[in-house]
Amino acid sequence: MALTNIDGEKFAQMLSEGAANLSNNSQKIDALNVFPVPDGDTGTNMNLTMTSGVKEVQGSKPVHAGKVASLFAKGLLMGARGNSGVILSQLFRGFSKEVEKKDSLQVRDIAQALQNGVETAYKAVMKPVEGTILTVAKDAASAAAKEAEQETDCVKFMETVLKEANASLERTPDLLPVLKEVGVVDSGGQGLVTIYEGFAAVLKGEKIAEHSDMQTPSLEELVKFEHHQSAQSHMATEDIEFGYCTEVMVKFEKEKLEHSPYNEEEFRNNLNSFGDSLLVVSDEDLLKIHIHAEHPGNIINEAQKFGSLVNIKVENMREQHSTLLEDEKEHQASSSPESGFAVITVGMGSGIAELFKGLGVKKVIEGGQTMNPSTEDFVKAINEVNAEKIILLPNNSNIIMAAEQAGKVAEAEVRVVPSKSVPQGLAAMLAFNEEQSLKDNADGMKDALQFVKTGEVTYAVRDTSFNGVSIKKGDFMGISEKNIVSNGEDVQRVAEGLIDHLVDDGSEIVTIIYGEERTEEQAMEISNYIEGKFTEVEVEVHVGNQPLYSYILSVE
């Protein structure tokens, strides 16, 4: 069923959703900002402006569409920030003037209101520049006028407006050379498109702010975003002629106006000599000025002739731009791989972490049998180590799939060596050679896993039975390859039984890693048992501080 009338409530929803979509994308819009000054705040300014407008509407009962539009325009004017924010306020100021007496809106009303908004905004700008938000608004309004001649359905109408706004946005680099040079579209135009996207979503019965694909950028968007991060670096700070972004809001006062009558055109011409990017807008109560000037005090003095100062904002754009360039340098430095190789592994216990780091592991993710790391944990670690080639050692069969998934989504070249225990991970690291290729390293480390036998001593958390053996809660268990091969109340005797099972004629080295509940003396007792019974075997003892596992044994 076609939607031919938009009442006040629906229009308020459109404004709210347009603001939400703008907010979702404000950082991306900031990164596009290169004109008129690359201070990287267009998205932020437009977002704050829209938020001010929506707050004004939310404090009312949105029954009458025209009143909603007037409240919104008032809120925008009060909260307008930056060039783009002030122009946005004028687009909706003109819009609201056109529909202020209409309790609901049809496509012809909206088309005429969009056109009136464009005319109002162009008048507010001293020197309109094509290839900006003004152009996008103008082209969209022109398409709206044509569509309104043949279409009454508001949904189809808004889709046409949005389609042309997007097309116009893509053309902005052809109109503004600095955009083409940097390789971006206009930031203010992008902001307007996101607002229209919110409008269209409401009319189609969607809620764009809750769409997961809007909140989580696609890979392509991320690539574009990273590219745009450097947009501001294409201008030198010293090229900024007028250094202070100055905004002044004045509340008209009758007494002052009698002495200094206000004429918007004359006042605009007067301020034009103080700087550039000048915008002067006003209604019956308020005057708002935005200008890039070298001496903000002069602007304030001129404005104060007509009333009292409500709000003043002065930002040093040279400082802003310089900070952006420094941030960009840091971003590039952190994005450059520090080294060719990095190995990431998983383990519990400070001693085990130190063992791995001593063998060259860059990052040990805390986790293990009872706390399996997620794919996200691996991806985060991959980003932290910042290397071109990465090997992942999961050290647990339950974690291998998460590691493999992380390897698929990471930008770095990743190989997973499917180690199923800490001893396997340690053995794999002994085979690691940074001089070899990623493939050769991964293959060699996989081969190393085959020559290690793992034993673990832990305790039963409940009464149980395994392979006909009854085990009481609290008893210790010696586990080899998921089989319980020894058990009992005495942890030392259980460990010795496990060693008897693991060590054979081909064994050369036994490594004992004792946990946080065991002492070095207890570990040495196990070592003495091995040396006394298996005289050809070499023994190493390390503190692991791992929880749950009294001993982890490696037999090679």
435 within a domain of the structure (yes/no): yes
> Among 61, 60, 58, 47, which Cα is nearest to 18's?
47
Same-domain pairing of 433 and 462: no
What's the pLDDT score for residue 219?
A: 36
Same-domain pairing of 187 and 263: no
What's the pLDDT score for residue 235?
A: 61
Question: What are the distances in angstroms from CA 69 to CA 83, 95, 196?
Answer: 21, 8, 15
Same-domain pairing of 162 and 192: yes
Boundary-marking domain end, from 400, 420, 449: 449
330 within a domain of the structure (yes/no): no
| Distance of alpha carbon 123 from alpha carbon 119, whole angstroms | 6
Same-domain pairing of 345 and 391: yes
Cite the DSSP H helix spans in 245-287: 254-259, 264-271
Find the Cα–Cα–Cα–Cα dihedral 357, 359, 362, 368, rounded to 10°: -60
Same-domain pairing of 276 and 407: no
221 within a domain of the structure (yes/no): no
CATH number of the structural domain spanning residue 416: 3.40.50.10170
CATH number of the structural domain spanning residue 487: 3.30.1180
485 within a domain of the structure (yes/no): yes
Same-domain pairing of 46 and 186: yes
SS3 450: coil
Same-domain pairing of 117 and 42: yes
Q: What are phi and psi of 281, to 5 degrees?
A: -135, 155
The strand pairing partners of 455, in sequence order, are 480, 553
CATH number of the structural domain spanning residue 315: 3.30.70.980
219 within a domain of the structure (yes/no): no
79 within a domain of the structure (yes/no): yes
What's the pLDDT score for residue 213?
A: 39
| Distance of alpha carbon 55 from alpha carbon 119, whole angstroms | 26
Question: What are the distances in angstroms from CA 339 to CA 97, 385, 434?
Answer: 61, 9, 10
SS3 291: strand
109 within a domain of the structure (yes/no): yes
What's the pLDDT score for residue 34?
A: 65
Same-domain pairing of 424 and 463: no
| Structural domains counted in the chain | 4
What's the pLDDT score for residue 119?
A: 95
What DSSP letter does each residue of 182-232 carry, written as one string?
A: HT---HHHHHHHHHHHHHHHHHTT--GGG-HHHHS--HHHHHHHHHHTTGG
- Tokens representing 188 are 């203010």
229 within a domain of the structure (yes/no): no
Same-domain pairing of 73 and 169: yes
Question: What are the distances in angstroms from CA 484 to CA 97, 371, 463, 540?
Answer: 82, 22, 14, 24
pLDDT tens digits, residue range 48-82? Answer: 889 989 999 987 877 899 999 999 998 888 777 77
Same-domain pairing of 46 and 98: yes
Same-domain pairing of 298 and 382: no
Same-domain pairing of 445 and 463: no
Boundary-marking domain end, from 254, 286, 321: 321
> Among 131, 105, 263, which Cα is nearest to 188's?
131
Q: What are phi and psi of 16, to 5 degrees?
A: -65, -45
CATH number of the structural domain spanning residue 47: 1.25.40.340
The strand pairing partners of 313, in sequence order, are 247
Q: Which residues of the chain have pLDDT under 50?
A: 210-231
For 247, half-sphere exposure in the C-beta direction (CA atoms, 13 angstrom radius) is 18
Boundary-marking domain end, from 295, 321, 347: 321
For residue 314, give its domain range.
Answer: 238-321
Question: How many residues does this entry show for the chain?
Answer: 556
